[in-house]
Amino acid sequence: MDKIKIKKIYEEKINLLSKYNLFYYDKSKPKVSDQQYDSLKNEILLLEKKYKFLKSKNSPAEAVGHKPSKNFKKFQHRASMLSLSNAFSEEDLKNFEKRILNFLSENKEFKIIYSAEPKIDGISASLTYKNGIFERGLSRGDGKEGEDITANLYTIKDIPKKILDKDFPKDIDIRGEVFIQNSDFESLKEKFANPRNAASGSLRQKNSEDTKKIPLKFIAYTYGFEQGLRQKNQSDYLKKLDEWGFKTNPLNKTISGVKNLIQNYNDIEQQRANLDFDIDGIVYKINNFELQKRLGNVANAPRWAIAHKFSSDKAISKILDIDIQIGRTGALTPVAKIKPINIGGVLVSNATLHNEDEIKRKDIRIGDIVTVERAGDVIPHILSVDLNKRPKKSAKFIFPDKCPSCGSKTEKEFNKITKKFDAVRRCSSEGFKCEKISIEKIKHFISKEALNIDGLGKRVIEKFWNLKLLKKPQDIFKLDFNFIKNLEGWGELSVKNLKNSIEKSRNTSLQRFIYSIGIRHIGIENAKLISDNVKNISTFIEIVKKKKFEKFINIDGIGETQINSLKTFFSEQSNLGILIELEDILNIQSASLIKNGILKNKTFMFTGKLDGISRAEAKSLIENNSGTTVSNISKNLDYLVIGEKPTKRKLEQAKVLKIEIISKNDLLKLLNKIN
């Protein structure tokens, strides 16, 4: 690879890191997980190590944090606030210790004592005290220059405002972490993604009276500039901090030997679930201050300290309860309510248990200490149970044989092909007799692939249900907008937008309508097959009334499973009633009317986010003009429509197969929607 290409790749990574820093430090809204952020940092550092000509002032080897916000006055730190190198394994720690011994010219027998301090996931702050008086508080900023957030820090009760002890240094910057306890975060979780975001957002408010209302805490752990500090090591300094009135981490320890560091690391990780604050690793510091000075710093990190990070996709927690959730098709899904734990920067309080068989196989019980995994965008789930920590009076979890919502019998279907019972247990109720199923069916009815009603999100549906505004899909078209206008969070504009969105949804295709009803095994593709066969809603209703579902057996793609599902769904008379009532309310376009559109026999696939138009709307435009949308690339694909951040793999496949790649505007030109 030539220098120009290498430099381009490097600069792209630097720009991406700068963007992540902006959202993490300045806007308090992280864009990626800690694991992804650390991975990008390491990629940049490895490139710099391999290619010496690469250099940037925004490199993680040079910069710390992010440029201070313009909202606050800026001050230079009297001693830079450095970042820390990361360790992820025992091997990393061995190499860290080896580098220290080499730098100090000591042999393996030289005993290094570490101060091991669990790293609280909060916001760093530096507090300046002169003659015992708290004078100024700065944020980390870019490590060299911070924001003056004194007024906000002054509201934190944990921060002493005046220290009278005679041995307190004449001039010193006390450094630590501002955070919010998990128990206090409960009242804030509707506004913030996790406690760290809440702490960051609260500290950076312009009005300190607003900050005062937030239960912020402060734990001290180091110092910056100092004049008159008498302590000779970190552990003695931490003890003194306690005496001076500062809070310190109760889990701090002095340890010698990498094996003992690992043992302590494992012990602390086991305790994470029981802590009332988030920790994302353990910081190891050479305990002796004299050795720290000898070792000094490398670029923007000290040689004498390292952060041993916990796994960013796994954590240990406790199962507080097991809740049974009921889906649109009646499937009973067990969900573990766990003690909230931070995994990769996300506060996790629920973990799926998948189904009854999974609970039995892993013998999962309420009160168990478990390992929870959250990898990428995968829903958090329970990996394993620590049987050694199971309470003696623990009882096996008994899966309900009756629906927790409506009391109907729950059952597992027998699969004739596999000759086994299905893993999923389902409520036997059909239609809208089961409250939980009904709510989920209405959510499905308004979803993007169905009627696509903006403004009616999942939470709105639940709220309207509780207010008895909704009980069946047709109730959406009978909403009392005057009543809604007076509800909290609603007003003239939001009600007007909702009303317009509902009116717009009255015009829909037969395919979308069949899909929107929410019949099990009738997804968007099967709904299209059926709509193409019956042509219009009248024929579909006639087949349903006479129960002549065998008519569909000759449709390629529709089998016995789908037909049995249709029979079961419409065996409930109320479902037919809903179908007939919706026919009167909606303008359901016949499939035959859109058979000869300008996109006839053309296939399309999307990748990336489209600007100014939802993917659901774009699909609808294509289908309403006789085109077809697909989810996989093949040589039969005509167009790949790309938006913002398209998938590289799909682009490469399309180029290899010589498929035409077009933009949203190109698509609209095909449809004659723009000049």
Q: Would you please indicate which residues are annotated as catalytic (active-site) residues?
A: 119
Tokens coding 411 = 């059952």
Which positions ≥6 away from 397 have C-beta within 8 Å?
322, 334, 359, 364, 365, 366
Is 550 strand, coil or helix? Answer: helix
Which positions ≥6 away from 69 have C-beta within 8 Å?
26, 147, 204
> Is 289:234 a contact under the CB 8 Å cutoff?
yes
Question: CA–CA separation, 200 vs 179, rounded Å?
Answer: 8
Residue found by looking up tokens 């000290």 in the block:
302
Question: CA–CA separation, 443 vs 529, rounded Å?
Answer: 23
Measured from the Cβ of residue 482, the count of other Cβ atoms closer than 10 Å reads 8
Torsions phi, psi for 297 (to 5 deg): -120, 160
Question: CA–CA separation, 152 vs 173, rounded Å?
Answer: 17
Q: Which residue, 376, 394, 379, 274, is CA-closest to 335?
A: 379
Question: CA–CA separation, 77 vs 136, rounded Å?
Answer: 11
Percent helix, strand and coil across the chain, each rounded to 5? 40, 25, 40
Question: CA–CA separation, 592 vs 594, rounded Å?
Answer: 6
Torsions phi, psi for 352 (to 5 deg): -70, 145
Tokens coding 397 = 């979890």
Question: CA–CA separation, 91 vs 80, rounded Å?
Answer: 29
Is 434 strand, coil or helix? Answer: coil
Which positions ≥6 away from 562 have C-beta within 8 Å?
521, 522, 526, 552
> Is 513:519 a contact under the CB 8 Å cutoff?
no
- Long-range contacts for 451-456 (Cβ within 8 Å, ≥24 apart)? 451/505, 451/508, 451/512, 451/513, 451/516, 452/505, 452/512, 452/614, 452/616, 452/617, 452/620, 453/501, 453/502, 453/505, 454/497, 454/498, 454/501, 455/494, 455/497, 455/498, 455/501, 456/498, 456/501, 456/502
Which positions ≥6 away from 294 have C-beta within 8 Å?
104
> Is 336:364 a contact under the CB 8 Å cutoff?
yes
DSSP 8-state secondary structure symbol assigned to residue 399? P
The gap from C-alpha 517 to its chain's centroid, in whole angstroms, comes to 30
Torsion region of 572: left, alpha or beta (phi above 0 gives left; psi -120 to 50 gives alpha): beta
In terms of Cβ atoms closer than 10 Å to its own Cβ (0-12, 13-18, 19+), residue 660 is: exposed
Measured from the Cβ of residue 488, the count of other Cβ atoms closer than 10 Å reads 5
- Torsion angle in degrees (nearest 10) through CA of 431, 435, 440, 445: 50
Hey, which bits of 581-655 come out as E strands?
587-589, 603-607, 628-629, 639-642
Question: CA–CA separation, 371 vs 362, rounded Å?
Answer: 12
